[in-house]
Amino acid sequence: MARERIRLLIKGVVQGVGFRPFVYQLAQRHDVSGFVLNTGEGVVVEAEGELKDLERFRHALKPEAPPRAVIESISPRIMHVQGDAGFVIQPSLAQPDEFQLVSPDIATCDDCAAEVFDPADRRWRYPFTNCTNCGPRFTIIEDMPYDRPKTTMNKFEMCSDCQREYDDPNNRRFHAQPNACPVCGPRLSFVGRRPQDQTTADQQTVNLEGEEALAAAVEMLQAGQIVAIKGLGGFQLACDAGNEDAVKRLRDKKHRYGKPLAVMTETIKEAAEICFINAAEQELLESPERPIVLLRRRPKDVVAPNIAPGNNYIGIMLPYTPLHQLLLRDTGLILVMTSGNISEEPIAAENTEGLRRLEHVADGWLLHDRDIYSRYDDPVVRIVEGHRVMIRRARGYAPYPVHLTFKAKKEVLAVGGELKSTFCLLKEGYGFVSQHIGDMENVETFEHFERTLELYKRLFRINPEVVACDMHPDYFSSKFARDLKAPRLVEVQHHHAHIVSCAVENGWRDQVIGVAFDGTGYGTDGTIWGGEFLLADWAGFERAAHLKQIRLPGGEAAVEKPYRTALSYLLSTYGDAYADLGLDFLSRLDPVETEILERQVATGLLSPLTSSAGRLFDAVSSLIGVRDAIEFEGQAAIELEMQSDEAEHGRYEFDYIAAPGQPTVINTDPLIKGIVNDLLKCVPAAVIGAKFQATVADIIVATCGRLREATGVRTVALSGGVFQNATLYARVIKGLKKQDFRLLLHKELPVNDGGISLGQAVVAHTLAAT
């Protein structure tokens, strides 16, 4: 029968996931000749054979692809028959101007894990075991195409056994770029003092390698010490999660006071002893991404209570590297596994950096000699009402892009916000949102931002023509954007970016009722917004309604001291008569400071106006005696949620203030008065907290109803850090669904400021295209 030949350009995540050997084996099975190779724009296949064989071959590519491959498009083209005798895998072809998607790092697969614990296998207890289905990817890539010379594995020359695997198309390690074994690959080392040497007069630092290094780390963890472990994307700080003293030492040394710590368990069974786990949560825990999943803790503490003080949830993850598996198996412990940094700094990545920056934190360092090219935190996720809520997007998820419903006409860079920073690059049909960078409050984080941005630009061949930033005049990211002197700079209002980000994730271009509830966002009127209802599309927005504004005495100082915001709410609601209410809250205030705060509120001195929902939560938390001053962002609101009585269904009142041509104001005076009346009746804080959260949910649902009636818009997008409150988020989702709204929720990006860079980019692209 006549032979035919086709050329296929396959785009997606098709490099570093075993795709070429899969194509090779598929061709063998269907009696197809030709070749497959990696190029700068994707995988190219030229296949020749009888028509029926070609059709079977082509139609099997997508459904039978390797588990971590993501095929986004297959573009066919008819070619002239060349009479190839067999099918071969050709060397990669670099194309400087073309790009392709990059795989995130992947948790250890079952096959590799089995080898690690098989005494008869040559990779027995080897901490860097991997294959084409698992292991490091993004963290070791310097440039594309994804070949070993362009990764940090280039300094490790493969032994004959590894080379044989690497060259064999029928082996699952065929062209696995991080392929290695104990003979030729990366090695562990340990620096520190063994536990038995900790109390001696001459504390000698030991340097160990291989199994001795691992044994020293295990011994140290079992003795209640803190070990800095170099992992996939940077250092992690580990200690015995059941040892309260060890956890306290870690908190003190890391300067992480109060904020929950993540733990790692060897098995799902161990995790289920600590927390309740439903099917969706188990699926997340066991997924190849292996995120930290926020789970409701069981009444009986299996881990130290100070793992997550004042919190009903614990972040748990399962091991995602052989090194983690070995540590957990050998120690027999549940381990705290938290970012290797001092609070608010980026995660340490390289050996010398880890030794220097964690000098006063760790007792020992478990190192290795495989370099990390891009640092990578652990992702944090939770399930609310069956929906995945991304808290921190990092390892396992980035740099996989958000798919756009349009092709970008111009390449765009959006630099995100100030806290939980990410950036976004638009190219063609993709929004490349970076991994979590951190809070742009120090030089180290800003340098991490710049290095990561340069990597993304190089990997995805992007040279931005348009730059977008937040409207806030003092954000580091916005100053950076302005200094770039791009041909076009677009400043995007913070909450507009939130809403557009959510809409874009859902492929929604039309106008929405956008509910943006967070702590801080610079408004178009120069005040601080944060309790916003916007009528928005990609090109613009109208501020339709917002929470009543109050003064924020001391500005940022009020964020750290919620009692200041609580006092401002009392002054706004009662005026000077607040002092006669007889509240216990007032007895906790310093009279001299109170007088100063009153004057600030009255004059507006260093007291900006705010409509922030985050500050309303802070104020109520302080009023009812939950938290007057915070140790980390959001602590007052989190503890209010955790201490609320889930069985309580009461509510408070609220009303609206409408003026022609002005946004509707949601008047919180009745709400504050209801809380004060309950306090005077000695109603428990748990009941008040529950009634307050139910009222905020009612405000959102009712206000969306008013706006639908006025405009006919029936699609609602929810975004902003306040929706990290699972109790509130669940109530709002249920309430809006009951009222038959079309609901848009974040799917891939964080609901907090980690998601706004996508919205900034799309707004800027929309405006630049007009």
Average pLDDT on 504-524 reads 97
Q: Is the pLDDT of residue 159 over 70?
A: yes
What CA–CA distances, in Å, run from 742 to 292, 593, 718, 733?
A: 30, 48, 11, 10
Reported as half-sphere exposure (CB side, CA atoms, 13 A), residue 738 has a value of 10
Give the pLDDT of residue 97: 74
On whether the CB atoms of residues 491 and 469 are closer than 8 A, the answer is yes
Give the whole-angstrom CA distance, residue 254 versus residue 131.
Answer: 35
Give percent of the chain with pLDDT exceeding 90: 89
Q: What is the pLDDT of residue 193?
A: 75
| Cα 439 from Cα 595, distance rounded (Å) | 33
Q: Is the pLDDT of residue 171 over 80?
A: yes
Q: 194-242, pLDDT tens digit by residue?
A: 665 555 444 557 789 999 999 999 999 999 999 999 999 999 999 999 9
Judged by average pLDDT, the poorest of 198-212, 241-255, 664-678, 744-758 is 198-212
Rounded CA-CA distance 178/727 in Å is 43
What average pLDDT does the segment 65-78 reach? 91
Q: Which of 331-335, 483-487, 692-696, 736-740 has the lowest mean pLDDT?
A: 483-487
Contact 503, 485 (CB under 8 A): no
Nearest to 44 by CA among 98, 83, 2, 119: 98
Instruction: Pick the range with the lowest mean pLDDT from 99-108, 225-234, 613-622.
Output: 99-108
Radius of gyration of the chain (CA): 28
Query: Could you read off the pLDDT of 250-293 as tens digits, one per residue?
Result: 999 998 888 999 999 999 999 999 999 999 999 999 999 999 99
Q: What was the pLDDT predicted at 688?
A: 98
Residue 300 half-sphere exposure toward CB, CA atoms < 13 A: 3
529: its two tokens:
């917004």
Alpha carbon of 402 to those of 430, 434, 645: distances in Å? Answer: 6, 11, 38
The confidence band for 16, taking pLDDT boundaries of 50, 70 and 90, is confident
φ, ψ (nearest 5 deg) of residue 71: -90, 120
Nearest alpha-carbon partner for 102 in 153, 137, 132: 137
* pLDDT at position 201: 43
* pTM for the structure as a whole: 0.94
pLDDT at 323: 98
Pick from 75, 65, 370, 110: nearest CA to 231:
370
Cα–Cα dist 267/269, whole Å: 5
H/E run at residue 238: strand 235-240
Over 70: is that where the pLDDT of 148 sits?
yes
Residue showing tokens 């000749």:
33
Q: Which of 715, 690, 695, 696 is nearest to 612 (CA)?
A: 696
Given a cut of 90, whether residue 181 has pLDDT beyond it is yes
pLDDT in tens, 379-420: 999 999 999 999 999 999 999 999 999 999 999 999 999 999
Average pLDDT over the chain reads 94
Is 50 exceeded by the pLDDT of residue 68? yes
H helices present in 398-493, as ranges = 443-459, 476-483
Do 459 and 102 contact (CB within 8 A), yes or no? yes
Bridge partners, residue 584, by sequence: none
Q: Lowest-pLDDT range, 117-131, 138-152, 633-647?
A: 138-152
Nearest one of 697, 648, 657, 655 to 672, comparing CA atoms? 655
Pick the closest to residue 76 from 27, 8, 4 (CA basis): 8
The two structure tokens encoding residue 678: 């309950």
